[in-house]
Structure 1
Amino acid sequence: MKQIVAMVLLAVFLLVPGISLFAEAPREQGIASWYDSDPNGPLTANGEQFDPTALTAAHKNLKFGTIVRVHDVNNGLSVDVRINDRGPFVDGRIIDLTPAAARALDMYEKGIIPVELEILYEPAVPESKYNRPGDTGWYRVQLGTFSNTKTVLQLFEKFHSIGFRPSVEVAQESLIRLSLRWIPEREKESSLKILESLGFKDVLLRSDTNPFL
């Protein structure tokens, strides 16, 4: 009898719309924008070549390799993208799309739209083309690549003021890559916790050169 009841309840869950056996992850709401680069432009934050024709996106803290369904709350359109970059670093904006993804949402001309993000898949380990930290005893964190020099300056001053050693390099023409250099092994975990509290989660951590050699 108990087995029959259980089967009936299972059938109800499976057949009745709106009822799910699994808890749905909370959806993030905010503004989506899109960004572009030269055809032979810089690498994304996870080490891939930026591809304006790919359905990928930048997010501040979702793991690289996460698949997100971006819903346009106005027109009902949606597109599935893979997170492979960091950004956008503008208040109120929650995701930066490639031109291809922007066209799929019919937002290429508009520039920005209100969206809702639905996580479809999240990898256990972030996807990255970079090697994990080596055995030098020193680490570096890549925060992202930016086109706005004012944003870079603000972040540079912010991290410098709290004891980090920020470093900048020109990635491609006017694009600037911002990293934190020479983090010693003993400060690695505490540094990552500080970065996470500031919104930089699942950042790229790589081995760095020994500054004393």
Structure 2
Amino acid sequence: MNNNVKRLLPLAALLLAACSSQPGEPVKKDDSYDRETAGGRYALRKDMAPGEMPDMSHVKDAVPRFEPYSRQGNKDYNVWGQDYEVWRDVQNYKDEGMASWYGAKFHGYHTSNGEVYDMFTMTAAHKNLPLPSFVRVTNTENGKQVVVRVNDRGPFHDGRIIDLSYAAAWKLGMLGKGTAPVKVELIKVAPNKEDVRLANQGPGRHIQLLATRSGDKARELAARLSREYGFPARVEHQSDWYKLQMGPIPATQTDDLLARLIAEGYKQAYFLK
């Protein structure tokens, strides 16, 4: 069993549905209310009231762009005895079904793409789309739309077609129930000449920024640096140490980025071989 599948198994067990409440919105316990997972299982704190959930109105949609598919997270896999195929050359994709969301249980941990999950950004998980992909999600109950970047696998709950970050679920108005009927549409961006040139230069390089004995510190920094610099960040756990790494970084930007990181206080930053 490869590492991706090992990571997906506990993830699948937990990705049932996440829900708390939209700020100021009471939880409605109707027939579609998921009693197992609603009411704060994935809230930021167990004692957090619905009105305390962070406002995400300032968060902007993901901006569709060409990105080469990552090496990690794009292999066919098996969860709970079921095989899943990763679509390689999908050009058009539309689907309708139920969406759910996932939050603090996974915040700061690796996605299937090898990045660090940040529940406050516009991302999502899908069982089959190549990683990364960009999709437009429409809540068919209220007409609200978001654009998200797919960088994870799931949901593995029957009848659900996409798992959204907290920020995306907030903007779609679906936090109260934890699920919502949605339409999902792939946004395909063709590469320009510069994209092709950079892709032909290879996958890029990784930079290690620091090593610490605090996993929480490393994951918090990874999420923040990924937002600030726009490159995937990950935390590798070896023995008692948590190593914060960033990449892949295109060859045209590696030297400038390393110099910037060192100037901003990461004195031990270096290129990984």
Q: Same fold (TM over 0.5)?
A: no
State TM-score, norm by structure 1: 0.45
Larger RCO (CA under 8 A, 6+ residues apart):
1
